A and B are shown apart, each in its own frame.
Chain A
Amino acid sequence: MQPDGLVMDSPASDDKRVEQMEQRVASRSTKHDSADKHVTGEARYIDDIPEPDGLLHVYPGWYRGAARGKILSMDLDAVRSAEGVVAVLSAKDIPGINDCSPAMGDDPVFAEDEIVFHGQVVFAVVATDRDAARRACQLAKIEVEASEPVLNVAQARDAGITVLPDYLFKKGEAEQSVKDSSSSVTTSFEIGGQEHFYLEGQISMALPGEDGELYVHCSTQHPSEVQHNVAKALDLDEAAVTVEIRRMGGAFGGKESQASQWATLAALGAHVTGRPCKCRLDRDDDMIMTGKRHDFLTELSASFEANGKLNAVVMDLDSRCGCSADLSLGINDRAMFHSDNAYQYPESLIRSRRFKTNTVSNTAFRGFGGPQGMLAAERLMDAIACKTGLDPLDVRLANLYEGDKGVTPFGMPVEEGDVLLDIITTLEKSSNYRERRKEVEAFNANSPILKKGLALTPVKFGISFTLLHLNQAGALVHVYKDGSVQLNHGGTEMGQGLFQKVAQVAAQELGVSLDKVKITATNTAKVPNTSPTAASSGADLNGMAVANACNIIKDRLLKFAADQDGVAIESIRVSDNVVYYGDERAMSFRDLVQRAYLARISLSSTGFYATPKIDWDRENATGRPFLYFAYGASCSEVLIDTLTGEMKVERVDVLHDVGHSLNPALDRGQIEGGFVQGMGWLTTEELVWDDEGRLRTHAPSTYKIPTASDVPADFRVDLYASKGNPEKTIYRSKAVGEPPLMLPISVFCAINDAISSLRPGLLPQLRAPATAEAILHAVHMIKKGQGA
């Protein structure tokens, strides 16, 4: 039987269907499933689980004296004899493989012979309380022969050290075309990294069971990988390790590969002592020891026509990957996948180099490289606008993918160019862009110290894991004899509202009310071999898998009812816990379930989904890596102080495409939250390492994410009136987790615009993040006549 509603149908374009959708559970603005528990403090995070008797606390120890060097000796006697210490762990205690990497085998749980970044774990203390463990860690005597660290892209370029091979997309002879052109632009700029700053730090609690079994509560987006890594380190079968996570206190990519090490430490502690062990990082250590968004050095050149239309583009996207590969392959690939953003490059050469440095291994972060590639594309638009004197929006419009004719630098067709154009032109009107452009110019003409800037930028973001096999999901749905439903799937809840959206899908498909659907923790014992909740894919994948499971059960129930009661199966409908034969109420859902149970019909099913249509041949750089693109646009206005570089965002307008929304309130939450997080990345969030490779911004006192007052009071967010995702996604919705993070590129471009007003024709030497210092630098340079 087909899933109810719109899963497999064509896009719902007619009014009637839209009206139907509004009545559906699955498109309502219901609250986050835990909203009430959040506000009352009843929502339980891992550190809130009542601690089992005999719980011990594991804390990682590290060498504070160098970012790179050979370990000569390690004297842990004082650590061992410190108050409260039960055990001290190091590499030799690992029965299996000393690695917690996602794939490449290059992230040791404990450093053995050499230290490769400042903050790398060398040993761990197991103690009766957490502060005792932390205090004991300070007593280690480690001798290291330090060597000169390689700390940033520039140094790594000179040294020529990469973690992964270079990669490129090539279409035409872009390099030659740019060289031959009489109208071209060349520029370079820095894009900073970003700390996730999830409010709940990394944490795991491991409970030992029989036969070496382990039950691990881990705050992770990727329970299956944590399970794999714990099993690998402890030399256990994966079947002996269960990983559970009910909810995370934020993740943003930082609990994908980065959760394994702390889970492994807790598990190892439990293995060695036979007692339950918890490992929770202190905030500063969390920020020092876990990876961040990649920072990039980009070099851009392009040739273009007098109307701003591009001919050829050459981009070099050089990133700092840190000390190991981690997820850098996919991240840098995605930077390349989005280096066109929304624009047609007739010829292009996109090159990527992935540099190895003696800094913490950079990792997934909302957007997964996409934001950096996209920012490079938008920088190019601004560069052309400066050069041609055109309004930056006109340059953007001139280059926008057209209708269904667009083809990306990696050969994938862009089929929704009309949607992209409609979003931009709608926002252009609703934000009064053109009038405000004049107002900004008038303001700037009369304001010597303060300057305004305005920018409208689009977002086009590819949806699917570019690692093909991850595009699958499983679900497990049980219907109990009282008609209640227990829901489980491979997706994890980190605040995005995935559990609520998927529960809405289950309620819709089974025809029960939402309160009958019991959401449960993600657990590797229920759904195995899951993909991470990442790449914005949570609802797309798990929603479909759950719909599949629900429909298998419902199919059985309806067949049973049809057989028993002699009605045509097509005439049976379940809605709001009531079974109808035609228009007539036949029985409650509960009664049907009871009858089915007595008749020995299975009331439980797994579900499965594999994304169709996608294929990507990385070696030849051809294929369709994405099922579809998500679109949006934003318009930002800023005010800068040319004496100090201080900046305030004054107004933001957003229009974003979520297809047919599964839950408009939750989607809006993702859009607003993503915007502010991306705005932080591009403005106040600055990661600073010193010359010794020590992170100096390792606490909220020094690393500044936006506060409430950084968000403009005038913040207008709308969902695009979509005709539905043309692809057959769950109810024709579109993924929304990551794309909004890139909307605030308009803030960066507006700052650029404000500085540019000081000397039209020059591209400001602005780097990201555009801190007050970065803005003032660009102001001083442009006043001296020096552009980027």
Chain B
Amino acid sequence: MRSAISFLRSGKVVSLELTNPTQTLLDYIRLSEKKTGTKEGCREGDCGACTVALGRLRDGELVYEPVNSCILLLGQIDGCELVTVEDLVSEGVMHPVQQALADHHGSQCGFCTPGFVMNLFTLYHQSKEGLSHSDITHWLSGNLCRCTGYRPIVDAALEACAGAANDVFSARAAETMRMLASINDGADVLSGSEDSFFASPASASSLAELYAKHTDATLVAGATDVGLWLTKQMRVLPKIISLNRVADLQKLAETTTGLHIGAGVTYAQAQESLAAFDPDIGEVISRIGSKQIRASGTIGGNIANGSPIGDSPPVLIALDATLKLRKGDVSRELPLEDFFIDYGKQDRGNAEFVEEIFVPRLDANQVFRAYKISKRFDQDISAVMAAFRFTLVENRITEARIAFGGMAATPKRAAGAETALIGVSLDDPSTWTTAQNAIKQDYSPITDMRASSAYRRDIAQALLTKALVEAAGTSTSKTRVVGQRPEGVTHAA
């Protein structure tokens, strides 16, 4: 057990006892380190001005990912290398991404710029064969700029990030990895006192034990939601248990039947495996939050949080995923859809935590479609999220699983439409009508700032129609303005 957190900073190991368990990483950088290059734009992980890079060891490699320091807790960077904008100038020479941004007139007011620099720094360090314009715009979706209109920033990224990384960070990568390995000691961390602490257990059994003892503690995975309880609601959370370092929860295991996703696996980590199930799942994940959010937020958190507008639950419910919960040494499994009881209410007992999600593969005769409707394509919260799984025999639907987000107090299946679809022929749109009408009766959505109730109902129907049209063989180039599937991919792989 350690009482101090450790992280790597400018080539040195920093060890800190945490006096405030909920200090954000941004407050640490700006107020404790007094480094003011990193900016606070929104304090809720939506504008990217506070972006910093975290270097981590992943499968024996050093990976830099962008995170929103405004909502990440300082304790959560244990075992990471922290890189801020101040670290990029080396011996008076700007980093290639800095130079390119300046040369391309990529800053105007400059307030968002350090965040762009740091996000591009992580892109610079990724493998990126054939880096395209849209790769960059999607990579940057978590960085808002109100001045430039982005064109010069994208041009700078195309210039600076196209080649292989060649900077001081790549030059000292081996040393960095050695130091990271030394601080990733697999020890449980508890910094603070019994009444107020930041804990970062290293194993599921440590977590279970600690949580059983402190049932009033707050579990934090990516802090992409809990962070806002602190920064916006000004809540006081004296006991924090971070899931970041629980090794058992980081597992991402593919089997012949499906995919096991540990509760601590981030969207970014799960994306590739899930996208292999169906391109639409990859598309949905790429539109969850931003690069920064996906590097921190977890699918487990998206579920445990219980929000009716999380993007992953409808997809996972349509795929018939199951959830594994654990309390102490006892685990239980349930269908994911049963976890969501009502608004703000989930089937999670005292001291119980989400351990794993299991996602079964699609069968060869199943068609999957998912759609996200939001005001803005990238980095927005759904007005409506829909996922469809049709099981087909000779172009007739024998089973349908349809789940929606944003339509009810929980992610919810479209029972009426599912029943009405059985026996429907994809070749004969006149047979679709009953289901198209039924889906409007399946939900009583609310009106809020994202959409009106009427629009949501219309969209539910429209998306069912779209899914059927596409399943019947119409190319998504004729049905979608964004997120077209690779040509020829109608069914799952």
Q: State whether B38 touches A771 (Cβ < 8 A).
A: no
- CB neighbors of B among A670-715 (8 A): 672-677, 684, 686, 688, 696-697, 699-702, 704-711, 713, 715
- CB neighbors of A among B361-377 (8 A): 371, 373-377
A residues in contact with B448, CB < 8 Å:
696
Chain B 150-169: CB-based contact to A (< 8 A → 1; otherwise 0): 11111000000000000000
Bound together, the chains give a CA A133 to CA B210 distance in angstroms of: 33
Q: At the interface, yes or no: B85 with Cβ under 8 Å from chain A?
A: yes
Report A201 CB to chain B, min CB distance, Å.
8
Known: A31-B105, A644-B463. A249 touches B111 (CB 8 A): yes
Report B490 CB to chain A, min CB distance, Å.
17
B residues in contact with A249, CB < 8 Å:
39, 109-112
Q: State whether A773 touches B481 (Cβ < 8 A).
A: no
Partner of B379, one of A45, A646, A666, A707: A707
B-binding segment of A36-44, A72-80, A184-192, A234-242: A36-44
Q: State whether B85 touches A676 (Cβ < 8 A).
A: no
B residues in contact with A666, CB < 8 Å:
105
Bound together, the chains give a CA A282 to CA B479 distance in angstroms of: 41
A residues in contact with B153, CB < 8 Å:
708
Report B65 CB to chain A, min CB distance, Å.
18
A-binding segment of B56-64, B130-138, B213-221, B320-328: B130-138
Report A366 CB to chain B, min CB distance, Å.
10
Q: State whether A44 touches B136 (Cβ < 8 A).
A: no
Report A37 CB to chain B, min CB distance, Å.
7
- CB neighbors of A among B435-493 (8 A): 448-452, 455, 458-459, 462-463, 465-466, 469, 478-482
Question: Which of B99, B147, B458 has the most chain A CB within a 10 Å cutoff?
Answer: B147
Q: At the interface, yes or no: A772 with Cβ under 8 Å from chain B?
A: yes
Q: State whether B234 touches A713 (Cβ < 8 A).
A: no
Q: At the interface, yes or no: A435 with Cβ under 8 Å from chain B?
A: no
Q: State whether B105 touches A40 (Cβ < 8 A).
A: no
Q: At the interface, yes or no: B422 with Cβ under 8 Å from chain A?
A: no
Q: State whether B480 touches A641 (Cβ < 8 A).
A: yes
Chain A 245-287: CB-based contact to B (< 8 A → 1; otherwise 0): 0011111100000000000000000000000000000111000
A residues in contact with B98, CB < 8 Å:
36, 39-40
- Number of B interface residues at 8 Å Cβ cutoff, please give it: 87
Q: At the interface, yes or no: A48 with Cβ under 8 Å from chain B?
A: yes
Q: State whether B107 touches A704 (Cβ < 8 A).
A: no
Known: A250-B147, A704-B375, A776-B455. A495 touches B154 (CB 8 A): no
Q: At the interface, yes or no: A598 with Cβ under 8 Å from chain B?
A: no
Partner of B144, one of A40, A199, A776: A199
Report B397 CB to chain A, min CB distance, Å.
20
Main secondary structure of the interface of B (DSSP, over half): loop
Partner of A40, one of B43, B89, B463: B89
- CB neighbors of A among B59-114 (8 A): 84-86, 88-89, 94, 98-99, 101-103, 105-114
Q: State whether A41 touches B451 (Cβ < 8 A).
A: no
- CB neighbors of A among B112-127 (8 A): 112-114, 117
Known: A669-B105, A675-B149. A708 touches B137 (CB 8 A): yes
Bound together, the chains give a CA A546 to CA B465 distance in angstroms of: 64
Q: State whether B481 touches A688 (Cβ < 8 A).
A: no
Q: State whether B458 touches A776 (Cβ < 8 A).
A: yes
Q: State whether A669 touches B47 (Cβ < 8 A).
A: no
Partner of A713, one of B42, B49, B134, B148: B134
Q: At the interface, yes or no: B36 with Cβ under 8 Å from chain A?
A: yes
Closest to A700 in B: B46
Q: At the interface, yes or no: B44 with Cβ under 8 Å from chain A?
A: yes
Bound together, the chains give a CA A674 to CA B149 distance in angstroms of: 7
Bound together, the chains give a CA A134 to CA B236 distance in angstroms of: 12
Q: State whether A38 touches B150 (Cβ < 8 A).
A: no
Q: At the interface, yes or no: A110 with Cβ under 8 Å from chain B?
A: no
Q: State whether A700 touches B42 (Cβ < 8 A).
A: yes
Q: State whether B144 touches A677 (Cβ < 8 A).
A: no
Chain A 283-296: CB-based contact to B (< 8 A → 1; otherwise 0): 11000000000000
Q: At the interface, yes or no: B191 with Cβ under 8 Å from chain A?
A: no
Q: State whether B479 touches A131 (Cβ < 8 A).
A: no
Question: Which of A196, A249, A708 has the most chain B CB within a 10 Å cutoff?
Answer: A708
Known: A199-B39, A707-B376, A776-B458. A700 touches B111 (CB 8 A): no
Bound together, the chains give a CA A456 to CA B157 distance in angstroms of: 31
Closest to B132 in A: A713
Q: At the interface, yes or no: B172 with Cβ under 8 Å from chain A?
A: no
B residues in contact with A45, CB < 8 Å:
39, 111
Known: A247-B110, A677-B146. A641 touches B85 (CB 8 A): no
Q: State whether B44 touches A701 (Cβ < 8 A).
A: yes
Q: State whether B94 touches A32 (Cβ < 8 A).
A: no
A residues in contact with B128, CB < 8 Å:
none
B residues in contact with A669, CB < 8 Å:
105, 108, 147-149, 152
Q: At the interface, yes or no: A35 with Cβ under 8 Å from chain B?
A: yes
Question: Which of B111, B448, B465, B466 has the most chain A CB within a 10 Å cutoff?
Answer: B111
B residues in contact with A675, CB < 8 Å:
149
Q: At the interface, yes or no: B140 with Cβ under 8 Å from chain A?
A: yes
Known: A40-B98, A705-B146, A709-B134. A497 touches B108 (CB 8 A): yes
Bound together, the chains give a CA A248 to CA B147 distance in angstroms of: 12
Q: State whether A200 touches B378 (Cβ < 8 A).
A: no
Bound together, the chains give a CA A50 to CA B35 distance in angstroms of: 10
Q: At the interface, yes or no: A665 with Cβ under 8 Å from chain B?
A: yes
Partner of A672, one of B148, B231, B459, B478: B148
Report B43 CB to chain A, min CB distance, Å.
6
Question: Which of B117, B140, B141, B148 has the most chain A CB within a 10 Å cutoff?
Answer: B148
Q: State whether A200 touches B39 (Cβ < 8 A).
A: yes
Q: State whether A640 touches B146 (Cβ < 8 A).
A: no
A residues in contact with B108, CB < 8 Å:
32, 250, 495-497, 669, 673
Q: At the interface, yes or no: A643 with Cβ under 8 Å from chain B?
A: yes
Question: Which of B94, B151, B373, B462 has the most chain A CB within a 10 Å cutoff?
Answer: B151
Report B288 CB to chain A, min CB distance, Å.
13
Q: At the interface, yes or no: B232 with Cβ under 8 Å from chain A?
A: yes
B residues in contact with A198, CB < 8 Å:
109, 111, 146
B residues in contact with A646, CB < 8 Å:
373, 377, 481-482
Q: At the interface, yes or no: B381 with Cβ under 8 Å from chain A?
A: yes
Bound together, the chains give a CA A706 to CA B111 distance in angstroms of: 17
Bound together, the chains give a CA A738 to CA B419 distance in angstroms of: 56
Q: State whether A644 touches B462 (Cβ < 8 A).
A: yes
B residues in contact with A494, CB < 8 Å:
109
Bound together, the chains give a CA A247 to CA B154 distance in angstroms of: 24
Q: At the interface, yes or no: B416 with Cβ under 8 Å from chain A?
A: no
B residues in contact with A706, CB < 8 Å:
149-150, 376
Bound together, the chains give a CA A31 to CA B148 distance in angstroms of: 14
Report B112 CB to chain A, min CB distance, Å.
5
Bound together, the chains give a CA A401 to CA B336 distance in angstroms of: 65
- CB neighbors of B among A564-606 (8 A): none
Q: State whether A709 touches B138 (Cβ < 8 A).
A: yes
Q: State whether A700 touches B144 (Cβ < 8 A).
A: yes
Report B254 CB to chain A, min CB distance, Å.
30
Report A11 CB to chain B, min CB distance, Å.
27
Known: A704-B380, A709-B134. A283 touches B38 (CB 8 A): no
B residues in contact with A38, CB < 8 Å:
101-102, 107, 110, 113-114
Bound together, the chains give a CA A710 to CA B144 distance in angstroms of: 11
Q: At the interface, yes or no: A138 with Cβ under 8 Å from chain B?
A: yes
Known: A39-B94, A669-B147, A676-B149. A709 touches B234 (CB 8 A): no
Contacts A/B (CB < 8 Å), 18 sampled: A32-B110, A39-B101, A39-B117, A41-B84, A44-B36, A199-B47, A199-B111, A200-B39, A449-B478, A495-B147, A648-B482, A676-B149, A699-B44, A700-B144, A705-B146, A707-B377, A709-B138, A709-B141
Interface residues in chain B, defined as those with a beta carbon under 8 Å from any beta carbon in chain A: 34-44, 46-47, 49, 84-86, 88-89, 94, 98-99, 101-103, 105-114, 117, 133-134, 136-138, 140-141, 143-154, 231-232, 234, 371, 373-381, 383, 448-452, 455, 458-459, 462-463, 465-466, 469, 478-482
Closest 6 CB pairs of A and B: A41-B37, A495-B109, A249-B111, A38-B110, A676-B149, A495-B108
